Every structure is written in structure tokens, then in C-alpha cells.
Amino acid sequence: MLNLTDRGTAHTCNGLTRRDFVQVGTLGAIGLSLPQYLAASEQVEANKKDDDRACIMIFNLGAPSQVDTFDMKPDAPSEIRGPFKPISTMSDEIQISEIFPGHAKVADKFSLVRSCYHTGAAVHDAGWQMMQTGRQFAGGVESPHAGAVLSYLRGRKTDLPAHVVLPETMGRGGGNLPNGQAGGFLGKAHDPFALMADPSQPNFKVPDLLPPPEIGEARLQRRRRMREVVDSTLKNFEATENAQLLDSNFQAAYRLMTSPEAREAFDLSKEPTKVRERYGMTRFGQSCLLARRLIEGGVRFVTINTFLTVFDEITWDIHGSKPFTSIEGMKNIVAPLYDAAYSALLEDLDERGMLDKTLVCNLAEFGRTPRVNPAAGRDHWPQCFTTYFAGGGVKGGQVVGRSDPIGGVPAERPVDPGDIAATIFHSLGLDIESHLPGPAGRPFPLVDFGKREIHELFA
């Protein structure tokens, strides 16, 4: 999906943008008073500070087992602790599973939160929406992804979109629910740009960003027709503000398709072979490398889906029985590609001086059952799981929160999806007390009442 957002830049003599003028003209229809609108506008302006902050959200579809990865219980019975042993790391406070040797080398750069939970259904897509938006959808209202919120509040910095999803948006999760990776009530203008390609494939390119000699006459003609359609539409609109806004949005999309800078950011062939191999020549590994390039190019928020669905490929969804994998299968198939890419990403960001301004958060929809099931796997468990954070002002090498002796429920400092969202927004320099224009034009809080950032991460 192309992100068609482009905040108006033409101002009237009193400082209002064209977009402001259009919106004020429709306030009565949507039930938002002028004072409410002006207050919301002030909050948008206030959220433009720390403009160089960025975020990479790694979403681990399928949900890793906390007991076998980052919250091990070596003293628990065998049916709880599983087959793996804990190892020491670069942080005196952190021990993790032996299946993550790369993580161990960069553990001084990230901090674990071992007391996460949510009260939603134990189905994948319910967790996806809650963990990426901070809320469970209700009453037909879809909350925006954290990247969509940033897109709305700050817009794009360059020809590149404000929010990109790699390698593509999530597929099915089993519950037939929205996956939480869209603009929600902020509108499709704040949906992410989805790559829709595997960056690990030979000669990888983004078709819509290819220069004219490479795209072929058919695609070139399509671009020309797009321009002609918009020009014709604008003439029919006369010189209305809506027409000008349509033209502004189209120009943003057209700039992306024709921008040399955009092509450069997406061009992995510019990277040395050693760097690409360091990340791993896998779909996830090259997505992590591409995320770094996009952040360098001016993208504000990149979401990386470790996997695309829980049905057609081996993921963290380790139920044990086919078509899923077992706990041992996770060690041999999933962990190596994930470990290599994540550790390379943190080291690369740090070496380039980007980590301090780039939050890297690793989330999942829930955890896994503390007890191993009869198929040598673990099942869905939203009652307790681990997330972790690096960069973006986070102090590395810490453990926040604690689970009970079997990793079943938080025993100390419980953290829910609203707290996770507040933490991301806080790192990005957003005012978590501010509001968005919600459904029917009513002010909608950035985070729910009482939700705050995990302040220990920034201590």
C-alpha cells in the first residue's frame, strides 16, 4: 500500500494550512467544536519535537516461548523448564537461552520486560492488534498502529513514507480479526507502505520504485494515466481546497514512485556482501538490514514481521504437532535466523551512531504455556510473556518485572499493551497525555487513562 499522506504546507495569512481550512469547514458535521479542534492542532504541533527519533518494531508472529528464550526457569520441573540451558551474557543482570548466542553478545544494549500480559483472547490476531496499538478493538472502532500515529503527528521527512512494513503486512491469524497494522480511525492515508517482496531474493527490487528504463512501457503508461486522471479530476473540482488537498496527496505518492532517494534507500545491492551476510541471507535478516537503510533515509517507523502468517510456514507457534514445530524445532529452524539478524541490527545501529535515536522494540502477541504439552510443544498463553527494548533512550542490560516460578503470571511490575504503547510513544518524544481526532471527530487519547511508559527502562 502506498502511504498517500502529505501534510499541507501552504499557509493562509493567519497561519492555517490548507488542510486546517478544510477540516475546520467540516467540524460541525463531525461533532468537533472549534476549541476542541484548535486544542488538537496545538497537540500535533507540540508532538513535532525530537523530530530525529525513529522506531523499528520487530513483531514475532507466532509468539516465542518465554520459558525457552528470555525468562528461563532452570530450577522448575522438566515439564516446565524445557530442554535448553541458560547462558551468561554481556549484562550481569541478564541470562537467556543457549539458542541465542548472538543476543548474549549484545545484551548490554537491550533490556527485558518479563512481566507482560494481556486480557484479550488467546488467538493470534487479537494479540496482534492489542500489542501494536495498545488497545483491544471494540464497537467496530479500529485503533491505529503506533507507526500510523507517528505518521499522523509528524508526517514524512523525505520522499519516503513515514511508516513502512517489511516484508509485507500480516496474513491470517485464525480469528478473522483486523491485525492492527493499519491507520485505523486515522484513515487509510496513514496505512503503512508495504514492501510486498522478499528482500533476500536475488536481484531484489521494489517494482513501483524502478526508474522508467527498467519498469517497461506498460508500467510507465500506468503512471502517466494516474497523472492524467488526477489532473482531470482537479479540473472538474475547479479550485476547491479539497481538490488542492487531493493533488497534494497524489504528489506525495508520485514523488515516492519517482524519487532517486527512495530507490537508493531500498537498494540492498549498495550494501557490501559481508554486511548482508552478517544479517543472514534470509527474508527476516535482509528485512532488518533494509530497516536500517530506511531509517537512515528518513523513514520514521519501520515494522518488521518476523513471519507473515502462522499457517503456511514454521514460526514461533510451537504447538508441537504438524504442521507446527516443536520446542526443539524452534532451536534448529527459527532461533538461528532470528538471533543472527537481531544481533547484527543492534551492532550496526550502534556502530553507525544511530542506536541512541532509534528505538528497537521486540514484541509478540502473547507467550506460551509454562507446561510442555503432549506433542512436545507449548500452546497460547497471554497471561505472561517477555518483550524487550533497545536504543531510543533505553538503558540496556536491565531486567524489568518478574514472573512467577513457572513463568505463568507476572509476579512483579505487570505490564500490559497500553504500557507498551506509552513506552514507544515516550521514546519517540510524543506527549502521551495528548489526543488524536477519533471516531465521529471526538478527541481520542493517545494512550488509555492510567497507562504510562515503563520508566525503569529509561532510568
Distance, CA of 316 to CA of 327 (rounded, Å): 9
Q: What is the pLDDT of residues 427-441, one digit of tens each?
A: 999 999 999 999 988
* pLDDT bucket at 399, cuts 50 / 70 / 90: very high
Q: What CATH number should be reported for the domain holding residue 102?
A: 3.40.720.10
Choose the weakest-confidence range: 72-86, 212-226, 274-288: 212-226
Of 119-123, 133-137, 215-219, give the lowest mean pLDDT range. 215-219
pLDDT at residue 209 is higher than 60: yes
19 falls within a domain: no
Measuring CA to CA, which residue among 97, 122, 120, 94 is closest to residue 108?
94
Looking at residue 220, its pLDDT comes to 57
Say if CB 427 and CB 392 are below 8 A apart.
Answer: yes
Structural domain count, the chain: 1
In the predicted model, what is the mean pLDDT of the chain?
86
Q: What is the pLDDT of residues 148-202, one digit of tens each?
A: 999 999 999 999 999 999 999 999 898 889 999 999 999 999 999 999 999 999 9
Residue 23 lies in a domain: no
pLDDT value of residue 236: 61
75-81 contacts: CB < 8 A, separation 24 or more? 75/405, 76/370, 76/405, 76/406, 79/371, 79/372, 80/370, 80/371, 80/372, 80/406, 80/407
Q: What is the pLDDT of residue 80?
A: 98
For residue 74, the enclosing domain spans 31-205+267-458
Give the pLDDT mean for 29-57.
60
Residue 312, pLDDT score: 87
Residue 46 lies in a domain: yes
Task: Evaluate whether residue 93 is within a structural domain.
Answer: yes
- Answer whether residue 194 is part of any domain: yes
**Domain assignment present for 17:** no
Domain assignment present for 295: yes
- Omega of the bond prior to 167 within 30 degrees of 0, cis? yes
Structural domain contains residue 241: no
